[in-house]
């Protein structure tokens, strides 16, 4: 039977995501295991927070886990409740590309168009 991975990404905010994990991590894992989770893994990201990956045998198991009051309370208590919580299917953390994505060069030298000046420009020449 195939596993379906889900990721809970928590960003640092008023306090660190590690502090949030200390307060809520054990309860989240216990709830996952009692609702048929097969595997789980934490990924610590030095510069922005952490990711909890959980594998369930079916999407319905994830939905039951996600609907638990304790899980909802833990997710409501993240360090940045407005911009610091991302929940998505699939693996997160270090499961993506092994290297950071390097920025690509800007097209057209990255410059913005200059505003059109409707007033004449007077240039004085020194003699």
**35 within domain boundaries:** yes
What does the pLDDT read at residue 36?
93
Question: Bridge-partner residues for 84, per DSSP?
Answer: none
Q: Where would I find the beta strands (DSSP E) of the chain?
A: 4-11, 39-45, 49-56, 85-89
The label of the residue with tokens 């045998």 reads 57
Q: What is the mean pLDDT of residues 53-71?
A: 94
46-63 per-residue burial string, b: 16 or more CB within 10 A, e: under 16: eeebbbbbbbbeeeebbe
The pLDDT tens digits of the residues spanning 94-118 come to 444 444 444 555 555 556 666 676 6
The pLDDT tens digits of the residues spanning 32-48 come to 999 999 999 999 888 89
Number of domains in the chain: 1
Task: Write out the residue range of the structural domain in which residue 76 sits.
Answer: 4-94
pLDDT of 73 strictly over 80: yes
**77 within domain boundaries:** yes
The answer to whether the beta carbons of residues 6 and 53 sit under 8 Å apart is yes
């Amino acid at each position: 039977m195939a596993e379906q991975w889900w990721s809970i990404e928590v960003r640092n905010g008023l306090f660190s995501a590690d502090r949030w994990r200390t307060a809520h991590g054990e309860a989240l894992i216990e709830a996952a295991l009692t609702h048929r989770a097969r595997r789980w893994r934490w990924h610590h990201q030095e510069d922005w927070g952490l990711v909890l990956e959980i594998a369930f045998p079916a999407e319905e198991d994830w939905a039951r886990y996600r609907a638990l009051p304790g899980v909802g309370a833990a997710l409501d208590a993240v360090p940045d409740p407005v911009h610091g919580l991302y929940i998505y299917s699939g693996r997160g953390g270090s499961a993506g590309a092994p290297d950071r994505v390097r920025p690509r060069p800007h097209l057209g030298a990255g410059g913005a168009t200059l505003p059109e000046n409707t007033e004449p420009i007077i240039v004085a020449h020194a003699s």
